[in-house]
Amino acid sequence: MRRSSFTFSLVVFVVLAPLCATPLFAARVGDLTEASYTTQFFRFLTFSDPSLRYALVGVVLLGLSCGLLGSFIVVRKMALMGDALSHAVLPGVAAGFLWNTSKDPVAILIGATIAGMLGTATVNAITRTTRIKEDAALGLVLASFFGAGLCLQSMIQQLPTGNKSGLDKFMFGQAAAIGRDDVALMALVTLGAVGLVAALYKELLVTSFDQDFARSAGVPTRWVHHALMLLLAMTIVISLQAVGVVLVSAMLITPAAAAYLLTDRLHRMLMLAAAFGVAAGVAGAFVSFVGRNLPTGPLMVLAASAIFTLAFFFAPRHGVLARWWRQRATAGRTQRENTLKAIFHVWEQNQSANGGIGFPALAARRRISLEAARKEVKSLVRHGMVTVHGQMFSFTPAGHWRAAEIVRNHRLWELYLTNRVNIAPDHVHDDAEKIEHVLGDELVRQLERRLDHASVDPHGRAIPSPQEIYRHAGLRDEAKGRK
């Protein structure tokens, strides 16, 4: 983590350095109303517009810090605390503006951070001293603070200087309005966020996943929480200009939620979330720059949502498609094993018939049509469990091995439930139907030991013993290898 934090700071400085060197004069992005889409596109790619450069650096910084801190609020199940906090800073923004009736970024940052901390404190006080639950407390604080902020703001707009305050830009954000001072402040807060995560990584990790353990290990969980909240409030404030009050929470939650779907390790999640935040920010700024008159904030949010949607469907382990595929694979395997079991039963009943088993016998056993039986056998052939010759088919060694295993699992479990758990013999079949597919070797050994290597199940049928499987399946190694 130390190394990656170093990388982060490096990125921040590399991005910032050329900016400070360039002379500063700029038409606002909004002034370029006559330019065509292609010109705008070209201007975007060549960074020829200084105000665009600020905007871009700004969204990169905010994407970074939102992704980092957002990861923690997502794994701590405090996502909606981010939402409440982002609305609660509004009265602070207005108060910061009133400080010297100008849009001084530092005054606004201080005012908004205080308001945000006051909001969190109020949520805590309400949940601690009343029966009101956290969700209602969050909603209550969110909307009340926001209402107070709107009141203040509408009062400010009636001041002689208020009309030019640009406070309305804080609602939906306008990246183009980001100036040099704003970028400097954003860089400072981002450094703070990166520094906090780097310095307290272990503490943050352990308090996020196991509060009790953290406390017993002597981690000051309260202080870690407060530090996180403080930086969260500051991050929200620096993001306001680009994303707006209403949608900041999305930049905290959405990239982090997408990253959460992609990895199980916190440090990887942090990097992914930061990368997604930056990507969403740049994409939003780009579209808002090329297509004029579009608010930046909502576009950045939509870009982040697009990333989340991709992760939702295509994440390798936790995505919907992966899950669906896994379920299908399991269902297919279960069905094949059920067919194997039925073939084993048929084979068991007339072991003398050496020529193999006919499809009608299998169909009758499985209570399915002849057509379906042929299909199931075909699937087994594909998996090397069975070979077909003419109208008959027979096990391959591997198939025989697996079939015997399934039947053994089934009967062993039935016996265990009957003898050790004292369940009536006619009630054990359904349970065994399920568990036969998942019993592992180790558990089977233990069951056999507990049952004194019994050889007959509660219904009087033989439990295929390992020796028997040996004898019929022939080569053990070959069978194991092909399983």
Partner 1 sequence: MNGLVPIFDARNIFVMPWTDGRSVFGTIMAMGFLVTAACGLIGNYLILRRMALMGDAVSHSVLPGLVIAFLATGSRGTGAMMLGALLAGVATTIIVETIHRKTRVKQDAAIGVTFTTLFALGVVLVSVYSSQVDLDAECVLYGEIGLMGPIQGWLDWPTPLVRMLVVVVLLGGVIGLFYKELLVSSFDPGLARSLGVNPVFVHYGLMVTLSVVVVSSFEAVGSILVVAMLILPGATASLLTNRLPQVHILSLVHAALSAVGGVHLALALNCQIGPAMVVMGAFLFVLAWVFGTRDGLIARWCRRRPLVHGTRTANG
The yes or no reply on residue 117 touching partner 1 (CB under 8 A) is: no
Cβ closer to partner 1: 253 or 417? 253
Query: Would the CA dihedral through 460, 463, 464, 466 be positive or negative?
Result: negative
Gap between the Cα atoms of 67 and 255, Å rounded: 6
**Of 132 and 217, CB closest to partner 1:** 132
97 touching partner 1, by CB under 8 A: no
Nearer to partner 1, 246 or 386 (CB): 246
Within 13 Å and on the Cβ side, how many CA atoms surround 169?
Answer: 18
Residue 232 CB, shortest distance to partner 1, in Å, is 14
CA dist 454 to 62, 322, 405, 426, 463, Å? Answer: 67, 41, 15, 19, 8
Size of the site for partner 1 (CB under 8 A): 68
Q: Does 68 bind partner 1 (CB under 8 A)?
A: no
Binding-site member from 69, 299, 380, 406 for partner 1 (CB under 8 A):
299
Residue 71: closest CA among 277, 327, 283, 377: 277
Q: Which of 57, 115, 142, 386 binds partner 1 (CB under 8 A)?
A: 142
- As a whole number of Å, the CA-based R_g of the chain is 33
Per rule CB under 8 A, is residue 273 in the interface with partner 1? Answer: no
Q: Which stretch binds partner 1 (CB under 8 A): 153-161, 270-278, 329-337, 409-417?
A: 153-161
| 445 CB burial (10 A radius; 0-12, 13-18, 19+) | exposed
Using CB under 8 A as the binding rule, whether residue 312 contacts partner 1 is answered as yes
The secondary structure of 430-445 as a DSSP string is HHHHHHTTT--HHHHH
77: left (phi over 0), alpha (psi -120 to 50) or beta: left
Q: Is 320 in the site for partner 1 (CB under 8 A)?
A: yes
126 binds partner 1 (CB under 8 A): yes
Main-chain dihedrals φ then ψ at residue 23, nearest 5 degrees = -65, 150
Q: Which of 20, 24, 143, 329 binds partner 1 (CB under 8 A)?
A: 143
According to the binding rule CB under 8 A, does residue 147 interact with partner 1?
A: yes
Residue window 242-261: x/- pattern of binding to partner 1, with contact defined by CB under 8 A: ----xx-xx-xxx-xx--xx
Q: Which of 19, 26, 35, 150 binds partner 1 (CB under 8 A)?
A: 150
297 makes contact with partner 1 (CB under 8 A):
yes
Q: Is 262 in the site for partner 1 (CB under 8 A)?
A: no
Identify the CA nearest to 89 among candidates 150, 176, 175.
150
Segment near partner 1 (CB under 8 A); pick from 150-158, 330-338, 377-385, 461-469: 150-158
Verify binding: residue 133, partner 1, rule CB under 8 A. yes
Cβ–Cβ under 8 Å, residues 458 and 418? yes
Contacting range for partner 1; rule: CB under 8 A; set: 73-81, 341-349, 393-401, 410-418:
73-81
By beta-carbon proximity to partner 1, the closer residue of 135 and 181 is 135
Q: Does 155 bind partner 1 (CB under 8 A)?
A: yes
> 3-state DSSP call for residue 97?
helix
Q: By CB under 8 A, is residue 301 in contact with partner 1?
A: yes
Q: In 90-130, which ranges are continuous DSSP H helix?
A: 90-100, 105-129
Give the three-class secondary structure for 358.
strand
Q: Does 120 bind partner 1 (CB under 8 A)?
A: no
Phi, psi of 27 (to 5 degrees): -85, 145
151 binds partner 1 (CB under 8 A): yes
CA distances from 22 to 16, 19, 42, 182, 186 (A): 11, 5, 20, 16, 19
Whichever of 83 and 337 has its CB closer to partner 1, that residue is 83
* Nearest CA-CA partner of 181 in 66, 24, 296: 24
**Minimum CB distance to partner 1 smaller for 291 or for 355:** 291
Q: Does 22 sit near partner 1 (CB under 8 A)? A: no
Shortest reach from residue 112's CB to partner 1, in Å: 17
Q: Alpha-carbon dihedral of residues 4, 72, 233, 222, nearest 10 degrees? A: -110
Nearest to 73 by CA among 198, 204, 243: 204
89 binds partner 1 per the rule CB under 8 A: no
Binding flag, residue 228, partner 1 (CB under 8 A)? no
140 lies in the site for partner 1, by CB under 8 A: yes
Query: By CB under 8 A, is residue 130 in contact with partner 1?
Result: yes
**Residue placing its CB nearer to partner 1 in the complex, 282 or 463:** 282
Q: Is 183:55 a contact under the CB 8 Å cutoff?
A: no
Closer residue to partner 1 (CB): 26 or 80: 80
Q: Is 132 in the site for partner 1 (CB under 8 A)?
A: yes
Burial of 324 (0-12, 13-18, 19+ CB in 10 A): exposed
> What whole-number distance in Å separates Cα of residue 365 and Cα of residue 463?
19
Chain residues binding partner 1 by CB under 8 A are 74, 77-80, 82-83, 87, 98, 101, 126, 129-133, 135-140, 142-144, 146-152, 154-156, 158-160, 168, 171-172, 246-247, 249-250, 252-254, 256-257, 260-261, 293-295, 297-299, 301-302, 305, 308, 312, 315, 318-320, 323
